[in-house]
Amino acid sequence: MIVMKFGGSSVESRAQIEKVLHIVRARLARRPVVVSSAHKGMTDALINAAKAAATGRFDPSVPVNKQRAVAESLGCAPDLLAPFYEEIADLLRGISLVKELSPRSLDYIASFGERMAVRCIADFFARSGVPARAYDVWDLGFITDANFGRARPLPGFDARIKAMFAERVPEGIVPIVTGFVGRNEAGEITTVGRNGSDLTATLVAAGLGAEEAQIWSDTDGVMTADPSVVKTARNIPTMRFEEAAELAFFGSRVLHPSTLLPAMEKGIPVRVLNTNRPDHPGTVIDFDTDAASPAVTCIAYRERQVVLKISSTRMFGEVGFLAQVLAVLARHEVVIDVITTSEVSVSMTTDDLGKLSRALPELEQFGACEVLPNRTTLVIVGQGMPRQKGVAAQVLDAMAQAGVNVEMLSYATGSVNLSMVIEDAHVASAVGVLHHSLFEKAR
């Protein structure tokens, strides 16, 4: 059995869904389970309509018309999604009346994209000769906590998923399953976070003990850099989980940050493939690969980060200073990514200026606080970095050539990633020069 996740760009139109049909049909012998995202742009359309409704502007036409156009192009019967269109209108009307959009309501409205997409796709598959049936993932055992916007399955989810699949998915049927969404024990709809359908896929794969989880997108697997920034970026044939996890967290556009954890726990390989070039081998992510590890595997980045710098002579030789600072940040739920220290200052990055701002009054008791927005965490990832001399020197030399100032630098002993903080405005030039230095010069 394989679990195949198709992203929004893979199911955005009839032309793309026909590609998905051919890909799935060619793998029927491997008993595919298909996890689908919403059609490209649908989740944004739903959320924008909900935000507009919260200001009193009731207009369900944009998401409804967008979905109706895809359904009609696939030849779906008009009544297939009629109940969903009515429910969307009712929900948006309610939001417009109370002028309030809670996290619970936001998850509810966002869920319609996947729920409608899987029904259209399953209907199209069935009429095209591939026996398929649509399933909401909660009907297959995916019950979550009540953390709206970032829900996670309850303990024991893998056993529930395995049992419910055996009970509810007939032999020979290709299940088309909603990604991104879930349901808590109270029956309320939740979501696992934006771009979370790939997380759903690996969680389902873990529950079913699948031989492989496949993430189908619009790139040739994981690339050495963001191909929209570096036109010469190339495919990485094999990666270790540790490298891929770093890339996902630090900005790889291919994988959701939490995707790899369920697969790692169950030892299930993850293969990243291109819907538009299904014969391309893509990238295989596993614990062990046959290929020798290069010093550097990939360059990734996270834009729109915030740097907090606290300067204080109290740090010098004081026991527990940093622990106290981190305790304040924890109380305000500020997630810290990169941290560097000296004897009289500490600098750290986060992605939530709002939470950091609320923590500042308490932080100022420790010293002078400086907040620097519009920063990017730029990372160089490679399993072989700890064993090869001169990589850091090569990286910093490339940054100097690009005329980019490195404001923070972090590299732990034996780490697979070297992290730098630069200004957002310098990302394109920094990544381009780095890629040329690390990947193209050696070719």
Beta-bridge partner residues of 307: 349, 372
Please choose, from the candidates 394, 395, 364, the residue with its C-alpha nearest in 3D space to the C-alpha of residue 379: 395
354 known ligand binder: no
180 known ligand binder: no
Residue type, 162: K
3-state DSSP of 402-419 = CCCCCCEEECCCCCCEEE
Contacts of 210 (CB under 8 A, 6+ apart): 1, 2, 3, 33, 204, 268
- What region does 321 belong to: left with phi over 0, alpha with psi -120 to 50, or beta? alpha
**Structure tokens belonging to residue 333:** 């739920």
Please choose, from the candidates 80, 76, 48, 83, the residue with its C-alpha nearest in 3D space to the C-alpha of residue 62: 48
**Structure tokens belonging to residue 275:** 């819907």
Q: Mapping DSSP to helix (H, G, I), strand (E, B) and coil, where does residue 93 land?
A: helix
Please choose, from the candidates 19, 36, 13, 14, the residue with its C-alpha nearest in 3D space to the C-alpha of residue 176: 36
187 known ligand binder: no
Q: Determine the distance from the C-alpha atom of residue 310 to the mean position of all C-alpha atoms in its chain, rounded to a whole number.
A: 31
43 known ligand binder: yes
Transcribe 224-269 into DSSP letters.
SS-TTT-TT--B-SEEEHHHHHHHHHTT-SSS-TTTHHHHHHHT--
Contacts of 17 (CB under 8 A, 6+ apart): 11, 74, 120, 121, 124
Q: Determine the distance from the C-alpha atom of residue 168 to the mean position of all C-alpha atoms in its chain, rounded to a whole number.
A: 29
State the Cα–Cα distance between residues 216 and 282, nearest whole angstrom.
9
Please choose, from the candidates 191, 109, 201, the residue with its C-alpha nearest in 3D space to the C-alpha of residue 150: 191
113 known ligand binder: no
Q: Mapping DSSP to helix (H, G, I), strand (E, B) and coil, where does residue 344 land?
A: coil
5 known ligand binder: yes
Give the annotated binding-site residues for ATP: 5-8
Give the annotated binding-site residues for substrate: 43, 114
Give the annotated binding-site residues: 5-8, 43, 114
